Structure 1
Amino acid sequence: MSRPSPLSATPLLLLAGCSTDAAPSFSLAGAYFPDWMMCAMFGVASAVGLRVIFVVTKIDSILRFRLFTYSALGVIVALSIWLIWFGP
């Protein structure tokens, strides 16, 4: 019988940290969704909401980089929600 090579254990060592016990997920209708997906949805919704507010208040017309601005606002909201709910 031949001995296994040290390289055959490499995939097992890489998977050693994977565990479902501490996975950041929540149960929704019996299915587990990642928490980052929920934060991303809030970020997108807030970016859309802020765009509506900026258009109504005419701030949107003075913005030069609209796509960058609304993307950055969505990311800021998503990361803030992540930090508040799941942070240290």
Structure 2
Amino acid sequence: MAVAACALAGCSPAAAPAVPFLGAYFPSWLLSSFAGIAAALVVRAIFVRIGLDDVLPMRLLVYLSLAAAVGFLVSIAVFGR
């Protein structure tokens, strides 16, 4: 019984990863992923403008990694998670 109680100790509403935004609660990971996708789109536009996009060997992997990195950074810096 004590082991089950310890396993459920982390389920508290105070630690819920939700952010109030425009009157609704959004999960923090969703807002972080939107920030990562937006950053990847901006960087892609810059790369296309300077001609670097044509020489990237694996474009999808580069932009996906960039979006994930920015999303993780936003999650840690803004939400502390």
TM-score bracket relative to the smaller structure: 0.7 to 0.9
Q: Which 4+ runs in 1 deviate beyond 4 A?
A: 11-16
Gaps of at least 5 residues in structure 2 are: none
> Does 1 or 2 have the higher relative contact order (CA < 8 Å, sep 6+)?
2
- Aligned-partner residue type, residue 33 of structure 2: A
Aligned alpha-carbon RMSD (Å):
2.2
Pair member with larger Rg: 1
Q: Which residue of 2 is the match for residue 21 of structure 1?
A: 14
Pairing partner for 1:62 from 49, 55, 60: 55
- Give the aligned length: 81
Gaps of at least 5 residues in structure 1 are: 1-10
- Quick one: distance in 2 between partners of 1:66 and 1:41? 19
TM-score normalised by structure 2 residue count: 0.82
TM-score normalised by structure 1 residue count: 0.76
Q: Which residue of 2 is the match for residue 71 of structure 1?
A: 64
**Cα offset for 1:86?**
2.3
Structure (1 or 2) with the greater helix fraction? 2
